[in-house]
Each structure stands twice: as C-alpha cells, then as structure tokens.
Chain A
Amino acid sequence: MDGLAQARFQARFSARSRTRSALIALAAASLAACAGPRYAIREADREPDRGAPAPGRGSGLHGTDKPYEINGRWYYPEAQPDYDEIGLASWYGAGEQSHHTANGEIFDQYGLTAAHKTLPLPSIVEVTNLANGRRIQVRLNDRGPFVDGRLIDLSLGAAEELGFDRQGLARVRVRYISSAPPLAAQGVMQARLSPHRAVIAAPPLTPVLSAAPETAMASAVAPEPAPSDAALPEADYRVQVGPMPLAPTPRGRRRNWETACAT
C-alpha cells in the first residue's frame, strides 16, 4: 500500500470502527446473553499474530499485497491457493456505500463482494453458509474484518444471497477460487467480466418455486437445479423484487407483476 492509500485505508477503517463500536458492543452483549457455544470461535480460526514484519519484508510488494498493521496487529497478505477455512462471517452495507474499498474500488453494498484480512485483492472466493447450504462466489476487494475470530466480512447483497442478513452472523466455509480481473472502469461493475457472479448452488432448506413470472406462480415444483457456471446466461444483470411478506400469488399483486413484466 502506498502512503496515500494506507492513510485512506486507515482513515476508512477508523471511521468504520467508530460506527461499528456500538454495534460490536451490542453484538457482544447479545452473544454473551446467548451463553452457548453457537458462536464459539475455534482457536484455529484466529489470525496468527506474527508481530511486526522483519526489516525488508514486503519489499517488491505493491498496494494491498503489503503487510499492514491494524490496532497493533500485523497482517501478511499472501497468495493462498489452497485456502479453505471455516469461520464466522458478518456483513457490512449502507455505512460504506460508495466508499473506496482497500484496493480502490467503489463499494456497492448490493454487489457480491467481501473483505478478507490476508487473501490477495482482488480475488474470487466461494462462500458457503453452513446453516442452510447456500453457496455463492464473491469478489474480494476489501480488507477486514478486524474482529477476533471473524473470518470474512460480506457485502449486504452477498449476505442476502447466503440468507443471513437478518441474523448478522453466520458460520461459513470460505474457499479460494482464483484471482479476479481488475474492473474495466473504477467503480463500474462490468457485465461478463467473469463467470463468477451469482448463486452457483443453493440447496434450499425450503422448496424453491421455479416459474416464469408470467406463468402461474403458486404451483410448487421440484427444487430448481443448481446452475453451473457453464449454464449461466450471457446477460448478467438481474432485478430482485422483495423480500415480500406475501407470495406474489394474490390476484392483485400478480396482475401488477405481469403488467410490470409485460411493459
């Protein structure tokens, strides 16, 4: 990280840590109240503290590849092609919307992105919510989370796809997939840059109804087969409606829906 980027990153982290301190305290109180092992962190999940970098370490490294220090702890980004860890995930959203991420991209809370302490940026990782089996691939473009025992910090959009945005925390498996291409234009999400984009498999706990919106929406069918990368359509932009408290089957809603689709 050069000086400017380091300063910006530190400043952003400071701002984030201030806004989060109350939330963290609240979360800590809530977790303490649980008094159970549900959120216990294995020692193996903790980031090893190797102290300050040795003189000369990091020479030849650039930007987010360099060792960095947060709250007195040093972190050492490095390629970890076999990275496959289980730990606790959290998510971040509105407070960071449109801010710069650690590697200079513009954060989109609805994108499928994440922050990790040591994996290279940008890269693609696969994240599986162990509570419901949902699995997505996200783009790592930020550093964090700087909370003991926390493995990865996902965007709101990613947390929604994994189905834990309402809980706040989830136990996940994180697996490194590949490095990611740089964005064609800063802050602009380009279509078809990468096949790694969406839900690749979501074995649902509840049945998934698969139907075109203009067809009957209430008939339950077999769970939708998990799409593979090869099966992804060329057009990558999607539109989400909801979550809604009611199935879009009541006549009025359905009529609105069909009208919207038809125009």
Chain B
Amino acid sequence: MIEPVQSVGAILYRVVLGGYLDEDDALAAQLRFTEAGFAGARVLRPF
C-alpha cells in the first residue's frame, strides 16, 4: 500500500508491505530496503 501522508506544505509518502510470515522474514526485507537506499525502512510487528 502506498499512502500519501499530509505534512506541512508537502506530501510525504509511506509504503507498507505485508505478507511476511515471521520476524526474520520481515527483518530480511527491511535490510534489503535499507541497502537499496530506503534508510527509514522498519518492521511493523503485530500483537
């Protein structure tokens, strides 16, 4: 899901990808995004 986020005078974009089976899977994806230049990538954990 690509979601525009309203900011002050600008629109930021946040991308949320689901479908990761466990934390290791998600952390691996986070690492790939970080290495690809998306420094803000992070895992959203369920509860």
Contact = CB atoms under 8 A, between A and B. Distances in A.
A74 interface: no
> Which of A139, A208, A239 has the most C-beta atoms of chain B within 10 angstroms of its own C-beta?
A239
A208 B1 contact: yes
A220 to B, nearest CB: 10
Interface in B1-47: 1-8, 10-23, 25-26, 29-30, 32-33, 35-38, 40-47
Interface in A221-263: 224, 233-248, 253, 256-257, 259-261, 263
A210 B17 CA distance: 11
Contacts of A234: 21
Contact of A189 (B3, B8, B37, B46): B46
Interface residues of A, number: 54
A204 interface: yes
A208 B5 CA distance: 9
Interface of A: 108, 110-113, 139, 157, 163, 166, 180, 183, 189-194, 196-198, 204-211, 213, 217, 224, 233-248, 253, 256-257, 259-261, 263
